[in-house]
Structure 1
Amino acid sequence: MLLTCQSVSKSLGDRTLFEGVSFTLHPRDKVGLIGPNGVGKSTLLKILAGMEHADDGQVEVRKGTKLVYLAQAESFNDADTVLEAALKLLADEPLDEAAKLAAAQVWLGRIGFADMGQRVQTLSGGWRKRLAIAAQLAREPDILLLDEPTNHLDMDGIWWLEDTLKSASFAFVVISHDRAFLNSVTTRTMEINDCFEGSLYAQDVPYTAFMEQRDGYLETQQIRRDNLANKVRREVEWLKAGVKARTTKQTARIKETLRLQEELSGLKSRTKEAKKVEIEFEDTERKTKRLVVLHNVEKSFDDKCLFKGLDLTLKPGMRLGLLGRNGSGKSSLLRLIGAMDAPTMGTVTLARGVRIATFDQNRQLLDPEQTLRQALAPSGGDAVIYRDELIHVASWAKRLRFRSDQLQAAVKRLSGGEQARILIGRLMLESADVLLLDEPTNDLDIPSIEVLEDALVTFPGAVVLVTHDREMLDRVSTVLLALDGKGTATAYADLAQWQADQKATLAPKKEIKKDVNKEEQQTEVKKEKVKLTYKLQREFDLMEQTILEAETELETLQNNPVDATAGQAFTDYCAALGAAQERVDTLYARWAELEAMQQGMSA
């Protein structure tokens, strides 16, 4: 075996992170380490790496084993070139300079760096992460410890890392919230959680199969707890009957009862239901069918065109997932939709009074010097207003799974996942028609991600989502839009369709170009065939207002019913109500017809 972790415990202040953690690591082990935020996953990884000390227990690494640690946040000198930064991480390796240079160049090339003389300060977050991964792999580890390696990586980067880890000859332990990634690269899963004896539950299966076995184990523990509780109750009743320890047998039974009570107490503590963050977004109940309309939109920076000719209509119930490499324009498109930036060409039209709420992956909306209490109640005071209800900030914090002793902590002292939950809480306080979310899953634990997915799926308004979490994209999105960063935006029904298309790009370029030109020619013909006349276009432009007026008339009738005993008045009312409903239905059908014609024109 390469590494042994024996009865390791760690506390922060008076809070126990984990207690009695034990496991072994063998050559080629591929381990996923999961658990809720705050249970000490990153701390355990640092203890394994020798960067932190355990309170109790020990970690033994086999002599001659090279252990390499990849942190969540990389630290480079921005003035260095990519190659210089990698070589600095190789400085202590027992290799000559030529071997170090060769190793750095090989791994930087494999991960996609074409220009190794590029300055670190010019790299995006995703490329900085690639640099960190390549530099650590160049050290040729026997054990690699990775803490959230997919954060900030685009899909290409994640796929490359998956292929590398799946074929790796070294052992690794990876902390990740990316369920698809865990299923792809791991063959063993360990969860740190105080609901398990020894704070750890492990099975030799990937994530999804692990969760099934975990649920079965917890159900068994629940049954065991209930059976033990019944047994303890009977023994306590026996004691209450006034039995005295006059015989050796009675004395032994009393001791056994006390032992059972202690065992039951431990089981109750471990099997208590873990609290999840409660997420539910509030919509404005707006009836407008078109919330945001982009027409012939282009966005360019200097000589680089990110996308052009983009036509997009956001409607209630639509959940748009954005795909593309880092720098392809996903965040730029979010900013256009949110009216935070202007297009280079084309128009972005927002429905009158539309409300848009935004989640920023850079967390620029957070003041690091504020306390958690202040950050959770941005309007000031000791309470927030949620769904017209006044909620004390302490209760609001509890709903977002914060502890009461954290309320006075500075935001800068909170973990990335905790900061993400603050921003999600702020979104919940905004009554919105459109939610724009830029990498909301970064640093969130898996239970929180799953609750967030539920909230987005049930949100009545429109959602635009940028995330590298493939499970979330597949579950939440009703349509996907892929940006290639070279001017083209392509719609897909699901992630599998996009992935298949990505593989198709391996076909000869001449053939692909020919197909694209043919499709463009067909599209131009289609545009000419279905171009709206001036009269139809004007009808289409006024349709939203016409429908709103018709719905207002219908709502007025519905809110002022006539008594059924009112004779002719009731008959007239029913006729008017039916006519109003029919008019609304007819207008919606006509709108759909006109919209189909217009979409055909811009397909």
Structure 2
Amino acid sequence: MNYISAENISKSYGDRVLFQGVNVGLDMGQKVALVARNGAGKSTLLDVLMGRDMPDTGKVAMNNDINVAYLAQEPVFKESETILEHVLNSDTPILQAVRHYEEVLEKQLHDTSEKALLALQKATERMEELKAWDAEARVKQVLGMLKLEQLNQPVSALSGGQRKRVALAKVLIDEPDLLVMDEPTNHLDLDMIEWLEQYLERSKLTLLLVTHDRYFLDRVCDEIIELTEDGVYRYKGNYTYFIEKKAEREAQDAASVDKAKNLMRKELEWVRRMPKARGTKAKYRMDAFDDLKEKAHSGKREGKVELSVKMARMGKKIMEIENLNKSYGEKLILEDFNYTFKRRERIGIVGKNGVGKSTFLNILTGKEAADSGDIDYGETVVFGYYSQKGLPKTDDKRVIDVVKEVAEVIPMADGNQLTASQLLQRFNFTPEQQYAYVSTLSGGERKRLYLCTILMDNPNFLILDEPTNDLDLQTISVLEDFLEEFPGCLLVVTHDRYFMDKLVDHLFVFEGEGIVKDFNGQYTDYREQLLAKEAAEKKAEKERKAEQKEKKTEVKPVAKKKLSFKEQKEYEQLEKEMEELEKEKEVLTVRMNEGITDHEELVSISQRIGEISDLLDEKMMRWMELDELT
């Protein structure tokens, strides 16, 4: 069944053509990723497919019989809504019932009036009627995994990362037929990403997503759509397959372009020899020449980022940390942290959101003060700090002016010098883009410009906080190549597991409560060790329970002691009393469900039912003791 199809769609903004002549289709059950360089229009294409934007040409058709959910890169909210109101804002009767039940339950905690009790009773009956308890459990699972706990908190009070997680929770809870997501792993910690990965991998929904997370692409998607200036290419396989086939295609294209160039040289000689007054009989040769010219120049269309800067000299002493402490109120971030950095160290930082990873980086770079402890810096250390905040407010500036504010001329690793314009060209900013305002850049292009300004200072100690967010796969790959050859120190916080595995030698693991452990190995090694430890603990627990069960069965039966006359009478009396209490409880329960209007009577009945339950438990325990002796 076809879910969505787009025919010959194009989109431009002014003179800038994002894409043209694009044909895309999506069928039931497919899990497809859309990849392209920054600024190629990935997010715009998703908006067009979802009907949030109109194409300049072509048409988009969506199946009207399916439920569609869209996670935008920058989700839109009603600022007055709470988290609970947003995630359960649905036309589905079951989710409406869950929302009403949760709201009534929350109110009942603070309001024990008769009206509140009746409202809870009705909400519970509606949940029973719709068999909505499984849906409620799923809602709580999703919210719990995404660390969304204060459900009455207004959306307006949330950070950007929290807002993205709230939006993600909503689209997952809706359980759509078609789920479209733009960078779903941004602002998630590694545990959340791995949970989401498994959730989508097991789910039967149809999926279209944009992401730079290569492990995520590899494990979740079974098809890749690549959007290029030449058109759309489809690859029936995961990310690994895509890389292999893309390399083959580019090699074939390069060979074809080289062949066209050789043929063009011959045609060019012919064109130059032709008399100026050409006859119509040579028109086919001129048309062929134009085709060859276009083919010969086709290999130059897609620019490539080039990272190469001169690194400041680094001395023997880098940075020594002694007894570093930091907390916010009762929340402990660092407790007596000690470390001595060595030359060319490559460290990854992992831990759940909120444990203090970014705070740690801010302390190292002097942007934030520690509560106590010492940091002794080497005299030659030059930090390059790429923070999550990105570029300062520069929307009203032109791209080239942002770079010139740092330096007019930039020394390179090979001894040459580049002007600001030449450096921007290496970062794949065309002359036209260099004189455009920063406000016109895509999210990934802004991040690329920010990276350019960081590297211009020629740092020898790079600190990167989520450097791959919003960057395209090509730029990430170039950045990885640059960092692999970077001779200075590297400290990385990232949820991109592929990026971390490729670059770091060991990890600082932030476990919370001020504990930071040094793990010798890559992230995948760390996760495998954790999983092995969890499996070993489960196995040990299973063996312990089996051993206890075996010991219990091996215990020889003790000769039973006969009941005394008094105990026999008590035993018989307990049976009668429990039977009477059960009947009384049943009568009171029926009375309570009849819709009592007298608040005092309702409270009295409720208290008596509680007393009966306690008495039954007490009498049942005694009855079981005596029953063992009969």
Shorter-chain TM range is 0.7 to 0.9
SS in 2 for 1:348: strand
Q: 2:192 matched to which residue of 1?
A: 157
SS in 2 for 1:150: coil
How many Å apart are 1:156 and its aligned residue? 1.2
Q: 2:236 matched to which residue of 1?
A: 204
Q: 2:138 matched to which residue of 1?
A: 106
SS in 2 for 1:152: coil
How many Å apart are 1:100 and its aligned residue? 5.8
Residues 362 and 105 of structure 1: is their aligned pair in 2 closer, same or farther, counting only changes over 3 Å? farther
Distance 1:372 1:396 in 2: 12
How many Å apart are 1:265 and its aligned residue? 3.5
Distance 1:234 1:461 in 2: 50
Amino acid at match of 1:422: L
Q: 2:621 matched to which residue of 1?
A: none
How many Å apart are 1:115 and its aligned residue? 3.9
Contact 2:34 2:226 in 1 (8 A): yes
Amino acid at match of 1:424: L
Q: Does residue 501 of structure 2 align to residue 469 of structure 1?
A: no
Contact 1:369 1:411 in 2 (8 A): yes
SS in 1 for 2:181: strand
Worse overlay, 69-78 or 465-474: 69-78
Distance 1:502 1:366 in 2: 41
SS in 2 for 1:484: strand
Q: 1:2 matched to which residue of 2?
A: 3
Distance 2:356 2:189 in 1: 12
From 313, 335, 338, the equivalent of 1:308 is 335
- TM-score, normalization by structure 2: 0.73
Worse overlay, 1-10 or 230-239: 230-239
Distance 1:235 1:369 in 2: 48
SS in 2 for 1:282: coil
The equivalences for 1:331-350 within 5 A come to 331-350=358-377
Residues 228 and 133 of structure 1: is their aligned pair in 2 closer, same or farther, counting only changes over 3 Å? same
Contact 2:258 2:296 in 1 (8 A): no
Q: 2:51 matched to which residue of 1?
A: 50
Amino acid at match of 1:500: E
Q: Does residue 166 of structure 2 align to residue 166 of structure 1?
A: no
How many Å apart are 1:360 and its aligned residue? 1.4
Residues 162 and 384 of structure 1: is their aligned pair in 2 closer, same or farther, counting only changes over 3 Å? same
Q: 2:444 matched to which residue of 1?
A: 417
Distance 2:303 2:216 in 1: 25
Distance 2:422 2:268 in 1: 37
Distance 1:461 1:403 in 2: 30
From 315, 322, 331, the equivalent of 1:295 is 322
Amino acid at match of 2:202: S
Contact 1:31 1:172 in 2 (8 A): yes
Q: 1:127 matched to which residue of 2?
A: 162
Contact 1:31 1:188 in 2 (8 A): yes
Q: 1:261 matched to which residue of 2?
A: 289
Distance 1:188 1:434 in 2: 39
Distance 1:115 1:511 in 2: 36
How many Å apart are 1:93 and its aligned residue? 5.7
Q: 1:283 matched to which residue of 2?
A: 311
Amino acid at match of 1:402: F
Q: Does residue 39 of structure 2 align to residue 14 of structure 1?
A: no
Q: Does residue 397 of structure 2 align to residue 370 of structure 1?
A: yes
The equivalences for 1:299-448 within 5 A come to 299-352=326-379, 354-363=381-390, 365-379=392-406, 383-387=408-412, 391-448=418-475
Residues 494 and 511 of structure 1: is their aligned pair in 2 closer, same or farther, counting only changes over 3 Å? same
Distance 1:337 1:510 in 2: 42
Distance 2:361 2:498 in 1: 21
Contact 2:18 2:39 in 1 (8 A): yes
Q: Deviations over 1:514-571 (max 9, x none)?
A: xxxxxxxxxxxxxxxxxxxxxxxxxxxxxxxxxxxxxxxxxxxxxxxxxxxxxxxxxx
Residues 99 and 285 of structure 1: is their aligned pair in 2 closer, same or farther, counting only changes over 3 Å? same
Residues 54 and 335 of structure 1: is their aligned pair in 2 closer, same or farther, counting only changes over 3 Å? same
Distance 1:464 1:186 in 2: 30
Worse overlay, 456-465 or 500-509: 500-509
Contact 2:410 2:420 in 1 (8 A): no
Q: 1:529 matched to which residue of 2?
A: none
From 442, 450, 474, the equivalent of 2:477 is 450
Worse overlay, 494-503 or 181-190: 494-503
Contact 1:83 1:105 in 2 (8 A): no
Q: Deviations over 1:288-310 (max 9, x none)?
A: 2x311112323221111123232
SS in 2 for 1:9: strand
Worse overlay, 16-25 or 326-335: 16-25
SS in 1 for 2:245: helix
Q: Deviations over 1:58-98 (max 9, x none)?
A: 2212231222211111233555432122234x3x5677731
Q: Does residue 221 of structure 2 align to residue 183 of structure 1?
A: no
- TM-score, normalization by structure 1: 0.76
Higher Cα Rg: structure 1 or 2? 2
Distance 2:201 2:537 in 1: 28
Residues 43 and 108 of structure 1: is their aligned pair in 2 closer, same or farther, counting only changes over 3 Å? farther
SS in 2 for 1:151: coil
Contact 2:5 2:25 in 1 (8 A): yes
Q: Does residue 508 of structure 2 align to residue 481 of structure 1?
A: yes
Contact 1:291 1:433 in 2 (8 A): no
Amino acid at match of 2:504: S
How many Å apart are 1:128 and its aligned residue? 2.7
Contact 1:30 1:173 in 2 (8 A): yes
Contact 2:384 2:455 in 1 (8 A): no
Identity, in percent, stands at: 32
Residues 238 and 456 of structure 1: is their aligned pair in 2 closer, same or farther, counting only changes over 3 Å? closer
Contact 1:218 1:271 in 2 (8 A): no
SS in 2 for 1:449: helix
Contact 1:83 1:104 in 2 (8 A): no
**Number of residues of Structure 1 aligned to a counterpart in Structure 2:** 500
Worse overlay, 77-86 or 311-320: 77-86
Contact 2:315 2:380 in 1 (8 A): no
SS in 2 for 1:283: coil
Amino acid at match of 2:96: E
Distance 1:510 1:212 in 2: 40
Residues 206 and 262 of structure 1: is their aligned pair in 2 closer, same or farther, counting only changes over 3 Å? farther
How many Å apart are 1:445 and its aligned residue? 0.8
Amino acid at match of 1:224: S
Contact 2:391 2:446 in 1 (8 A): no
Contact 1:28 1:170 in 2 (8 A): yes
Residues 376 and 246 of structure 1: is their aligned pair in 2 closer, same or farther, counting only changes over 3 Å? closer
Q: 1:490 matched to which residue of 2?
A: 517
From 135, 139, 151, the equivalent of 2:174 is 139
Distance 2:271 2:373 in 1: 83
Distance 2:304 2:267 in 1: 35
Q: Which runs of 5+ in 1 are unaligned?
A: 513-603
Residues 97 and 223 of structure 1: is their aligned pair in 2 closer, same or farther, counting only changes over 3 Å? same
Residues 506 and 303 of structure 1: is their aligned pair in 2 closer, same or farther, counting only changes over 3 Å? farther
Worse overlay, 359-368 or 2-11: 359-368
Distance 1:123 1:482 in 2: 26
Residues 246 and 65 of structure 1: is their aligned pair in 2 closer, same or farther, counting only changes over 3 Å? same
Contact 1:127 1:153 in 2 (8 A): no
Worse overlay, 307-316 or 471-480: 307-316
